[in-house]
Structure 1
């Protein structure tokens, strides 16, 4: 078995979106903007990070602005939604962007590292893990990562399915 990410199942994601919209008639419409995405760059990492969302403390994420440009996804906006899929491409949760900030690598703080919920949740482990991740993902697309690259720092809420939704 390969550890490559499977492409998201867009039909299943659309079905999940329709179920979410039907249950939330006020403030969300079927045509509202949403994206379908995965955490990480491998099946294992996608599944690990998604589990931290569904069964743990992960309520933040960070991605290079250049990563959004490469994937063709729009930058998130406060209030926008995204469907997070597992490493096999199956949609698992609908997330809503609650807070966004763009800044360089050294602008992250302890609170954000804790909210991202990974490893031991310290700023040091956040920096070590993200430095390796962005070096790897940039190299894979023929780019070189720099600590001055712009990063989207995002806090989110789980809004669907109801049994996992933040209260």
Structure 2
């Protein structure tokens, strides 16, 4: 597995955000800090998951609470925006968080597993894939993750660019 760090193009992300803010000033005004991220922990996984977002299959994501606290980032909040980049660090979409919940591994349900849009979209596939992923990303931490650790379950919508934005009017 390629574990090359993804270097984010922050200048391009700022341009994307400025385009969005000009088009949707009422929405963009609610965010004082620009969050720019990528899905997954490898360029290949970032591309795969971003493709699922662009196709409409993926409208949810999950992350260990410790993923945020280890690097000192705040947890997501409902209504906040973030820019998702591809595996080369190029910004591709602006997302807006629509729903958040914190729970443990056993609290994921079939609907959320399907909304994550990964694999065959079943809860069994979600559990298998996330056990591997959470184990891998926590391997360098002083204590590895356990299934009782808190997980952020997040749903989102694409709000930019217009050709990919969700069309139900809630962007």
Q: TM-score of the superposition, structure 2-length normalised?
A: 0.92
| Unmatched segments (≥5 aa) in structure 1 | none
| Structure 2 residue 167 is the aligned partner of structure 1 residue 164 | no
Q: CA RMSD in A?
A: 1.4
Deviation at 1:71, TM superposition (A): 2.7
Deviation at 1:79, TM superposition (A): 0.1
- After TM superposition, the structure 1 stretch with the greater mean CA deviation from structure 2, 27-36 or 112-121, is 27-36
Deviation at 1:141, TM superposition (A): 3.6
Q: Structure 1, residues 111-137: CA drift from partner, whole Å, max 9, x if none?
A: 000000000000000000000000000
| Unmatched segments (≥5 aa) in structure 2 | none
The equivalent residue for 1:86 is: 86
Q: What SS does the corresponding residue of 2:51 show, helix, strand or coil?
A: helix
Deviation at 1:3, TM superposition (A): 4.7
* Cα separation, 2, equivalents of 1:6 and 1:98: 26
* Cα separation, 2, equivalents of 1:133 and 1:158: 24
| Structure 2 residue 68 is the aligned partner of structure 1 residue 68 | yes
* Cα separation, 1, equivalents of 2:8 and 2:48: 16
Q: Is the 8 A contact 1:18 1:30 kept in 2?
A: no
Deviation at 1:28, TM superposition (A): 2.1
Deviation at 1:96, TM superposition (A): 0.2
* Cα separation, 2, equivalents of 1:162 and 1:37: 20
Q: TM-score of the superposition, structure 1-length normalised?
A: 0.94
The equivalent residue for 2:135 is: 135
Q: Is the 8 A contact 1:33 1:80 kept in 2?
A: no
Q: What SS does the corresponding residue of 2:164 show, helix, strand or coil?
A: coil
Q: Structure 1, residues 83-121: CA drift from partner, whole Å, max 9, x if none?
A: 001111110000000000000000000000000000000
* Cα separation, 2, equivalents of 1:48 and 1:27: 28
Number of corresponding residues = 166
Q: Structure 1, residues 47-76: CA drift from partner, whole Å, max 9, x if none?
A: 000000012310000000000112332110
Q: What SS does the corresponding residue of 1:145 show, helix, strand or coil?
A: coil
The equivalent residue for 1:109 is: 109
- Structure 1 segment 1-167 matched on structure 2, within 5 A: 3-29=3-29, 32-167=32-167
